[in-house]
Amino acid sequence: RSSRSSKSTRSGRSGGRSKAARRASNKAEAEAESEETRKDRSNRRSLKRGIDQNLEVCEALISDLLKIPESADFIDLVDKKKVPDYYDLIERPICLSQIKEKTLYLQYESCEEFVEDIVILLENCFNYNLEQSEVYENGRVLETSFMSMLKSRLPTSYRTVTKNKTRK
């Protein structure tokens, strides 16, 4: 037997530290790792800033959209097993999780690409669902919220979207 195993068995704790001390240590490690992730993302953003300085605004925008309760219907892709004809009728399925991931991994070259994906998501909703359905109504709430956020945070993109809507 090693003295190490008998010590941890005897004390009931790993390394002799209390649960509170381990929790505090784990929390500090998680915060440091989280801070490191933020720094990495910020560094990547800095490299991309020459492409579009507003990509950080897009990241905040998608995070805020996901906080809206009505966004729940749009977080994941439509389940093919539950709605088999959806993929026959919708040319470019997309969901908020995919948009968030593309935002976090800096896959958008511009805010316009980000906005285009949100618009496609909403168009998919309105084209597939009946007007009186709950999903359609949730799409309208999401659209209203998105347009309001866009108008205040990215006015140029807002003007582009509204101009394109009037052309259709």
Please give the model's pTM, rounded to 2 decimal places: 0.70
Helix (H) or strand (E) holding 58: helix 55-66
Are the CB atoms for 93 and 77 separated by under 8 Å?
Answer: yes
Are the CB atoms for 66 and 95 separated by under 8 Å?
Answer: no
**Residue 76 contacts by C-beta under 8 Å, 6 or more apart in sequence?**
95, 97
69: tokens are 């309760």
39: tokens are 């720094």
Quick one: which of 157, 168, 75 has its CA closest to 127? 168
* Burial of 32: CB neighbours in 10 Å, binned 0-12, 13-18, 19+: exposed
Matching residue, tokens 């790993």: 14
Task: List the pLDDT tens digit at each of the 168 positions of the chain.
Answer: 444 444 333 333 344 556 566 566 666 666 666 666 666 666 565 555 555 678 999 999 999 999 999 999 999 999 999 999 999 999 999 999 999 999 999 999 999 999 999 999 999 999 999 999 999 999 999 999 999 999 999 999 999 888 887 765
Rounded-to-integer distance, Cα 83 and Cα 29, Å: 43
Matching residue, tokens 């006015």: 155
Rounded-to-integer distance, Cα 23 and Cα 68, Å: 32
